[in-house]
Amino acid sequence: MPRNATSGAGPHDVTMPQLGMAQDAGRIVAWLKAAGDTVAKGDALFEVETDKATMEVEAQASGFLTAITAAEGDDVPVGAVIARISDSAEDDSPAPAPAAVSTSAPDHADDLPKGQPVTMPQLGMAQDSGLLVSWTKNLGDKVAADDILFEVETDKSTMEVPAGMDGYLAATLAEPGEDVPVGATLAIISTDKPDAPTARSATSIPAPSAAKAPPAPAATTPARAEEQPAPKPQPAPAAQDRILASPKARRLALERGLNLNNLVAAGHPQPFHARDLDVLANLPATSPAAATARTATIRLTAEIATEGLTAFAQWAAANHGFTDRDVLLAGMAGASLSQPGIIAIERHGHSRGFAIPADRALSAITRSDDRPDLILRDLRDTALRSVTTGAEGTPVLTLMSGHVGLILTLECSVDQMSAPAAIALLSAFAGRMEHPLRHLL
């Protein structure tokens, strides 16, 4: 009977297992542990003999063996409590009912019909629950002890289970399709015809006998998780819609204490990726003054022919081994800056930085991931013909394909570059791109 409804590591009742299909009792051949002994889950606890075989039964919990109520040589009905595994050697909670005495109706059953409980049988050694497939008797039916009462499915098989006693089916406490822990009360059989037969679902069944871990019908997730603890979920965004962001972007935002909502508010296109966090980190504070500053931007556009650039690139590759065209681009942009600096070339959302040497020599350009002074955004293989993105953290020079040549757009804020400096930069760059040989002069 369910005599312990507390959760956690309370005492665990040891019951006579059902080791065969037709078995309804077993004889205790020998106790392999004595009262007061410590037992570990999996230890052989006692030996039981049925009409088919003699076998050792393992402890299903760890603790101290207490309250043995069945002696060696006793015949004990299947499901009867014969001992307890407790947290201490001196368990002072009430001893279980004597093994051979059948159990009474569950304690919680004050509003249930009176009668004898029918419990979910243990059909396999390692089974801790069974799926109720169907009831084969109707509520209120008269049943005989060997009438089939219900069908149960375990991970191994499906089988029919007899009522075990004569009477009337007064209550069913689980519905077909429900997974019911071994030992939980499934039905009540009354001696007299019940006045008010009751049907309930298994969710109303209290914890099964003893402190068996709550049954988990759905397999739990295997514990093979990432060694890093998963970050806590992002605080609920202020915006109504879910923010689209990559897992990495979300993790980095959490680690760096950045709020993705600010990117949303800034109108940055979603989904957000890891690189967008740099944009986020550089977002100006959203004060009115800052907003005004952001609007004070410079946008210049130039259009040039491309033949010179193509020819120069081929010549440089063939004669000087400049196969990386980005070096040429960076070199020409760097030479157009008033001071040597870092040029980042962005393409397909990916960025490569180059450090321009003081003498502006193409051969001395090196890779650099330092913060760029100018971003060269290459959109030549897109269909874009014009961009107005507003000033970013760094001046941006955008390359686009026009109908005949290249379209160059420079955008920056007045803080980053004065208007004359911006005009000088774009003019110099456009000149070099159109007539690259000038670069060598």
Residues near another protein (CB under 8 A) = 224-226, 228, 230-231, 244, 246-251, 270-271, 273-274, 323-326, 345, 347-350, 352
Nearer to another protein by Cβ, of 272 and 312: the residue is 272
Distance CA 304, CA 410 (A): 14
Helix %, strand %, coil % for the chain, to 5? 20, 30, 55
Q: How many CA atoms lie within 13 A of 115 on its CB side?
A: 32
d(CA 122, CA 44): 18
178: left (phi over 0), alpha (psi -120 to 50) or beta: beta
Cα(238)–Cα(262) distance, integer angstroms: 10
* 3-state DSSP of 267-305: CCCCCECCCHHHHHHCCCCCCHHHHHHHHCEEEEEEEEC
Give min distance, CB of 432 to another protein, in A. 20
Q: How far is the CB of 232 from another protein (least distance, A)?
A: 11
Name the helix (H) or strand (E) containing 117.
strand 116-119
Q: How many CB atoms lie within 10 A of CB 374?
A: 25
For the CB of residue 132, give the shortest distance to another protein in the complex, in Å. 33
Rounded to whole angstroms, the Cα distance separating 429 from 395 reads: 14
C-beta closer to another protein: residue 298 or 316: 316
Nearer to another protein by C-beta: 251 or 360? 251
Q: Is 363 exposed, middle or buried (0-12, 13-18, 19+ CB in 10 A)?
A: exposed
The nearer residue to another protein, 177 or 247, going by C-beta atoms, is 247
Task: Between 27 and 347, name the residue whose CB sits nearer to another protein.
Answer: 347
**Nearest distance from C-beta of residue 231 to another protein, angstroms:** 6
Query: What is the nearest approach in angstroms of another protein to the Cβ of residue 249?
Result: 7
> Which residue, 208 or 372, is less far from another protein as judged by CB?
372
**Least distance from another protein to the Cβ atom of residue 346, Å:** 9
Cβ closest to another protein, residue 27 vs residue 251? 251
Task: Write down the least CB distance from residue 160 to another protein, Å.
Answer: 32
| Contact indicator for 201, 73 with CB cutoff of 8 Å | no
Max distance between CA atoms of the chain, in angstroms, equals 113
